[in-house]
Amino acid sequence: GIQVEQSPPDLILQEGANSTLRCNFSDSVNNLQWFHQNPWGQLINLFYIPSGTKQNGRLSATTVATERYSLLYISSSQTTDSGVYFCAVDNFNKFYFGSGTKLNVKP
């Protein structure tokens, strides 16, 4: 299957700081999504972004499919941004998840 690597594995930020999370994948994909897993385990869809750039409020994402990576930008971070961020790629209708980035935003 496809290998999905996320970095960094852990990130501690002061409230208000910006951050960039990275997702590398090993093969061509049909779909790439970013998720935020809240403390209760719910996966919240952030972006569906197989290519290009999208923005939603303080969050934005860019996927460069030809170079097999995606970036998630979080600006002006808030304590409610804390949690685990997953990148997942879809190839032949199977989702492969990265190991996640655990973000802790301190007040």
Partner 1 sequence: GAVVSQHPSRVICKSGTSVKIECRSLDFQATTMFWYRQFPKQSLMLMATSNEGSKATYEQGVEKDKFLINHASLTLSTLTVTSAHPEDSSFYICSGEGATEAFFGQGTRLTVV
CB of 51 to partner 1, least distance (A): 12
- Alpha-carbon span 72 to 58, nearest angstrom: 11
Total interface residues for partner 1 by CB under 8 A? 20
- Alpha-carbon span 34 to 71, nearest angstrom: 9
By CB under 8 A, is residue 18 in contact with partner 1? no
CA gyration radius, the chain: 13
Given 17, 59, 75, 90, the residue binding partner 1 (CB under 8 A): 90
* Residue 86 and residue 25 in contact, taking contact as beta carbons nearer than 8 Å: no
By CB under 8 A, is residue 96 in contact with partner 1? yes
Nearer to partner 1, 41 or 107 (CB): 41
Q: Which of 99, 101, 72 is closest to 12 using CA atoms?
A: 101
Binding pattern to partner 1, positions 27-66, x when CB under 8 A?
----x-x-x----xxxx-x--x------------------
